[in-house]
Structure 1
């Protein structure tokens, strides 16, 4: 159900004996992926109002509040499984809408810092499509849930309540400024531009610590028409990563086949090596990184969009879980932590964290439990911490990077991971272990299991691939020079 202006204090909904009595009301600030999933989790226990500054489109369309949607997004298997748990059948809904399920590493041609990953049989998977499609399918499912309404074209001005308890929000709507919307629980999912920290400080909540690691990363994306036959044959994702061990700006290039027979190509560069919005420089940049394959694949292809550029991609984390938060509030998604988009962690971290919140609410009997907000914030923290360590331990190594330095012992750990990654270029067992963690299916502790350590000790680069593992058929459909001795996929 969708309404522009639901009644205050809470929108009506049909009686549901599974809900707490008396009826509860939750407000979710932000209608992006994290906010939608939060609403789905809370809808088991309360009526939910999603408040968003945009008009939320019914179809896969861009919106002003999500500018990063223009760039490559892949949903790792760890995140897809978590969202499937929250919204059963969502993976089928995505593929029916045009998304592509990709086997990893079978449908992946990627050069990591250590080399090319062989295309073994499926170990994990991802969902490839535009971010607009990902969100639209989830949005349709969530807004259709019983008791979920939206308040669109509306901007939250402040939190209401005190340092002890949040009781609602103050909202500017098209019809009324400063409207009070009361709630038993307020969830901030407003994203990278969240004002929650300052809102809480205005209520007397202090000591909310923030950390940041900024590599100066800039993203540039352009969509191209895929060559004839590429979509039908299941052309793989192609990706060339940077090597943070080398003291030069980190540059990457990626092509992800998406819906409607299109290739979405994203370039990135850290401080001193960023891409620009100049369309004439897009392909030369891609050809100038560690391997030119992405630029070669794009050469001669028809561009369908201009070059979209995004700056301000620093890793930033707000330690809400360590502060004395008022009851009736927690934050999720990019409001808590933003990560270098290169690693594709944001949506997965939010989904897995909200699964933990769902388990908490179910065990505690819903929103009536005292301090449910603070406990929810702490339940989210482990997933955030894991992603934070993975992202910042790499980004701080690039020239000119600023922010918190690696913890003691990080060098030894990085050496171990580097050896594991070397083994992933030649040993199927280590390729599987690499993907197990990168797709956020298992935590990094998986890498120190005895069976994995044994494989790492035996790792070497003997027999590594010397060229992108594209098949002859893939090279032909892409129009590449066949004299390059294509490497057949394993």
Structure 2
């Protein structure tokens, strides 16, 4: 049941990216006004890059758990994405994946993901949110501090484009400002609590590029994903192709510390060939690159336990500002979306102005974030040179069990469905302990391991084509001066 706001209740949200706009959608029905403060001078009205979102240059996967969460907050958003060219990719049918245990079969559909550029995903959400009557965005606004004390936050101090500072009062402040959030510094200034922080950093670096999909690949092309194996005791290499809008493939290569890719265009496909299988490189050799190589290295997993601290009332932290994840697992957007749903569900039960609202909301937000955290650090801790707490006995036993499940999933539909439910964030990791899953893991493979990728005739036909001759990409500045 929606809480009817009494008087003028204002929520101020810090950050106009995905987490911030979803938080606005979550709270708008429960308050009089939602004000989103965005540092950029303007937010684009179309799906184009934003200067303060460098990670958008890299492939993103919006899993079913995240897409369904967004749809529940903003009905019709999925249709908006699909009409703009995004792909609804059935899982595991539409995924060619080499796991540490071997090649997965392409079983019948159990879940799905949305294949789209990050700019398109954000645009679809932003467009829907800005149609909500009581939501407005103030751009060119840099938040410099919180207003309030250790007991309660009552607003923020904002610096405008003219350099002038002013106070914006709020009944609730939601920090959704991402990895660069200064929330710990701001809390310290008002006498707030010390917040426990855990960092696990495998030193992952991304290199990404867009390609024009080869003729005949169509709308139903699969995701191609070559995973690393942290048990090999060497830097991991990961290679992925995600079909997106405009007939393009978004290709991301990543490597852990000691095995990072570079921005050198001549080495891009060579690096992909050095993954555990050269399949991605073979497809790229038959596709046309249409962008330069973009690199990104802010990939450490960072968990801040705000839900366990004595936080001031009137302050909630959401998304990457609370828990930021290595993007290689593709759970950041889905965790933020499920966090926004948790925020909404808390507002249904407890008025936003209630003294306990922020604490209850923070605990609810932490649950999906914690699930995504375990999926990420359960792998990253095992790579050579990883920074952070070394894996203990429990971590090693859990990793062995997950590997056993991954191995069994190659020939057992019960297990592959359970793993997919967890990977797509539709169900918690506890489903992996269900008696049927435990029995299947103990019983082992029901079908033999595959000796190669499970490709269709159409997909093999692309590989049978002659590789394209490569010409260096002409950079914009060279074309102007040439």
Please indicate the TM-score interval, normalised by the length of the shorter structure: over 0.9
C-alpha change, 1:418 and 1:18, in structure 2 (3 Å) is: closer
Which of 258, 263, 271 is residue 285 of structure 1 equivalent to? 271
Which of 340, 350, 358 is residue 373 of structure 1 equivalent to? 358
Equivalents in 2 of 1:412, 1:203: separation in Å?
Answer: 43
Which of 399, 410, 427 is residue 442 of structure 1 equivalent to? 427
What are the superposed Cα offsets for residues 342-371 of structure 1, whole Å, 9 maximum, x if unpaired? 11111111111222221211111x212112
- Tell me the secondary structure at the aligned position of residue 253 of structure 2: strand
- Tell me the secondary structure at the aligned position of residue 419 of structure 2: helix
- Tell me the secondary structure at the aligned position of residue 96 of structure 2: strand
Q: Corresponding residue for 1:9?
A: none
What are the superposed Cα offsets for residues 110-150 of structure 1, whole Å, 9 maximum, x if unpaired? 10111111111101100001000000000000011021000
What's the offset of the Cα at 1:267?
Answer: 0.1
Checking the alignment, whether the CA contact within 8 Å between 2:207 and 2:295 is kept in structure 1 is yes
What's the offset of the Cα at 1:231?
Answer: 2.2
Q: Corresponding residue for 1:296?
A: 282
Equivalents in 1 of 2:241, 2:366: separation in Å?
Answer: 32
What's the offset of the Cα at 1:273?
Answer: 0.4
Equivalents in 1 of 2:87, 2:211: separation in Å?
Answer: 17
What's the offset of the Cα at 1:182?
Answer: 0.7
1:266-285 matched pairs, under 5 angstroms:
266-285=252-271
Checking the alignment, whether the CA contact within 8 Å between 1:189 and 1:334 is kept in structure 2 is yes
1:340 equivalent to 2:326? Answer yes
- Tell me the secondary structure at the aligned position of residue 227 of structure 1: coil
1:32-43 matched pairs, under 5 angstroms:
32-43=17-28
What's the offset of the Cα at 1:52?
Answer: 0.8
What's the offset of the Cα at 1:374?
Answer: 1.8
- Tell me the secondary structure at the aligned position of residue 342 of structure 1: helix
Q: Corresponding residue for 1:85?
A: 72
1:170 equivalent to 2:157? Answer yes
- Tell me the secondary structure at the aligned position of residue 409 of structure 1: helix
Q: Corresponding residue for 1:134?
A: 121
Q: Corresponding residue for 1:253?
A: 239
Checking the alignment, whether the CA contact within 8 Å between 2:222 and 2:242 is kept in structure 1 is yes
What's the offset of the Cα at 1:206?
Answer: 2.9
Equivalents in 1 of 2:109, 2:361: separation in Å?
Answer: 35
1:49 equivalent to 2:35? Answer yes
1:384 equivalent to 2:380? Answer no
What's the offset of the Cα at 1:197?
Answer: 0.8
Checking the alignment, whether the CA contact within 8 Å between 2:307 and 2:362 is kept in structure 1 is yes
Which of 57, 67, 81 is residue 94 of structure 1 equivalent to? 81
Q: Corresponding residue for 1:397?
A: 382
1:61-460 matched pairs, under 5 angstroms:
61-175=48-162, 177-232=164-219, 234-364=220-350, 366-460=351-445
Equivalents in 2 of 1:299, 1:447: separation in Å?
Answer: 39
Q: Corresponding residue for 1:3?
A: none
Checking the alignment, whether the CA contact within 8 Å between 2:411 and 2:448 is kept in structure 1 is yes
1:19 equivalent to 2:4? Answer yes
Runs of 4+ residues over 2 Å off in structure 1: 405-408, 477-482
Residues paired across the two proteins, number: 464
What's the offset of the Cα at 1:433?
Answer: 1.3
What are the superposed Cα offsets for residues 326-353 of structure 1, whole Å, 9 maximum, x if unpaired? 1100100000011110111111111112
What's the offset of the Cα at 1:19?
Answer: 3.4
- Tell me the secondary structure at the aligned position of residue 260 of structure 1: coil
What's the offset of the Cα at 1:477?
Answer: 3.3
Equivalents in 2 of 1:147, 1:301: separation in Å?
Answer: 46
Checking the alignment, whether the CA contact within 8 Å between 1:297 and 1:480 is kept in structure 2 is no
Checking the alignment, whether the CA contact within 8 Å between 1:475 and 1:481 is kept in structure 2 is no
> Is 354-363 or 178-187 further displaced after alignment?
354-363
Q: Corresponding residue for 1:5?
A: none
| Contiguous gaps of at least 5 residues in structure 1 | 1-16, 483-490
Checking the alignment, whether the CA contact within 8 Å between 1:395 and 1:401 is kept in structure 2 is yes
What are the superposed Cα offsets for residues 136-165 of structure 1, whole Å, 9 maximum, x if unpaired? 000000011021000112111111111111
C-alpha change, 1:395 and 1:18, in structure 2 (3 Å) is: closer
Checking the alignment, whether the CA contact within 8 Å between 1:230 and 1:478 is kept in structure 2 is no
Equivalents in 2 of 1:368, 1:311: separation in Å?
Answer: 39
